[in-house]
């Protein structure tokens, strides 16, 4: 078991979820690397070390760079890459134990995001298939600061693995606003860095369309008050991205 997979997690102030995340991974591998943002002030490091993870403190260089740093310290070629607030559920763990990874494939997990205790079922958030297992000898994270992507030296087939990842993303609306504000700043910075700017249509209609897409087209209305809250905050996210971008562009 432990000679097949390694796991890499990047984290900053994740004491709320890191223990459960690691407990789920320990059912698959003992080789777990946690790359801890050196600005961390809570007990994330203490909890991770108590679970047997190897912890490396690192200055924040971006999602991709910090993940690639962690991967460089893994012992095995097949790397699991969940977020620190993601917990692999039983069916997924069983699927991974029975899986024989293929060098020609890359593996997607279905992630269900939670808003407090509520499992979001619509809003374009579920089902949500994302790559969480890959072979480090042919695949790595790109250089994006936010919304990082995997790039490979060869063409790979995406395979979906049965089971769910429980994503404990948002404690409440205040937590959502805080995280969305952080993501908006990162996205604006990435636009400036890459010189890829939103066109005039996105600048004018983007935030409003995001609300309409989330709440109506993606059936957020069926998630009740949670769906409305998510749609409203996604509208604000897109608005803040533009505001931060204009402020940075003006400097």
| Claim: this prediction has a pTM higher than 0.75 | yes
Instruction: Looking at the structure, tell me whether residues 159 and 233 fall in a common domain.
Output: no
Instruction: Looking at the structure, tell me whether residues 200 and 144 fall in a common domain.
Output: no
Instruction: Looking at the structure, tell me whether residues 18 and 142 fall in a common domain.
Output: yes
The per-residue pLDDT for 184 is: 96
Among candidate residues 139, 170, 201, the one where a domain is terminated: 170
Instruction: Looking at the structure, tell me whether residues 99 and 182 fall in a common domain.
Output: no
Among candidate residues 107, 141, 170, the one where a domain is terminated: 170
- Taking CA atoms, 7 is separated from 50, 161, 195, 228, in Å, by 16, 17, 33, 35
Instruction: Looking at the structure, tell me whether residues 79 and 191 fall in a common domain.
Output: no
Is residue 206 classed exposed, middle or buried when 0-12, 13-18 and 19+ CB atoms within 10 A define those classes? middle
Instruction: Looking at the structure, tell me whether residues 51 and 81 fall in a common domain.
Output: yes
The per-residue pLDDT for 3 is: 76
- Taking CA atoms, 77 is separated from 10, 52, 179, in Å, by 18, 20, 32
Model pLDDT for residues 210-236, shown as the tens digit of each residue: 999 999 999 999 999 999 999 999 999
SS3 content of the chain, % helix, strand, coil (to 5): 40, 25, 35
The per-residue pLDDT for 250 is: 80
CB 58 within 8 A of CB 37: yes
Model pLDDT for residues 49-75, shown as the tens digit of each residue: 999 999 999 999 989 999 999 999 999
Domain that holds residue 148: 5-170
Among candidate residues 170, 196, 225, the one where a domain is terminated: 170
The per-residue pLDDT for 129 is: 97
CA distance 169 to 147: 15
CB 148 within 8 A of CB 107: no
CA distance 206 to 200: 9
Strands (E), 98-210: 105-115, 118-119, 129-135, 139-141, 150-152, 157-170
- How many domains does one find in the chain? 2
pLDDT tier at 1 (50, 70, 90 boundaries)? very low
Instruction: Looking at the structure, tell me whether residues 178 and 63 fall in a common domain.
Output: no
Question: Which residue, among 76, 5, 12, has the nearest Cα to 41 in the 3D structure?
Answer: 12
The per-residue pLDDT for 243 is: 97
Instruction: Looking at the structure, tell me whether residues 129 and 96 fall in a common domain.
Output: yes
Given a cut of 90, is residue 92 above it in pLDDT? yes
- Three-class SS of residue 36? strand
CATH number at residue 33: 3.90.550.10
- List the structure tokens of 235: 């509208």
């Amino acid at each position: 078991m432990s000679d097949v997979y390694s796991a890499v997690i990047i984290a900053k102030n994740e004491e709320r979820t890191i223990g459960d995340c690691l407990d789920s991974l320990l059912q698959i591998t003992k080789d777990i690397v946690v790359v801890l943002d050196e600005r961390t002030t809570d007990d994330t490091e203490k909890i991770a070390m108590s679970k047997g993870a190897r912890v490396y403190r690192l200055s924040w260089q971006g999602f991709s760079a910090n993940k690639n740093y962690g991967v460089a310290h893994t012992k095995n070629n097949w790397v699991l890459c969940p977020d620190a607030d993601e917990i692999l559920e039983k069916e997924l763990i069983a699927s991974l134990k029975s899986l024989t990874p293929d060098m020609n494939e890359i593996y997607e997990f279905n992630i269900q995001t939670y808003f407090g205790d509520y499992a979001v079922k619509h809003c374009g958030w579920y089902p949500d298939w994302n790559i969480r297992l890959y072979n480090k000898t042919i695949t790595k994270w790109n250089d994006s600061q936010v919304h990082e992507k995997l790039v490979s030296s060869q063409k790979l087939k995406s395979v979906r693995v049965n089971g769910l990842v429980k994503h404990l993303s948002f404690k409440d609306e205040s937590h959502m606003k805080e995280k969305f504000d952080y993501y908006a700043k990162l996205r604006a910075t990435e636009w400036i860095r890459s010189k890829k700017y939103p066109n005039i249509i996105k600048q004018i209609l983007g935030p409003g369309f995001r609300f309409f897409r989330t709440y109506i087209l993606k059936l957020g209305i069926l998630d009740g008050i949670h769906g409305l809250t998510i749609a409203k905050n996604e509208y604000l996210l897109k608005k803040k991205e533009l505001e931060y971008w204009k402020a940075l562009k003006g400097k």
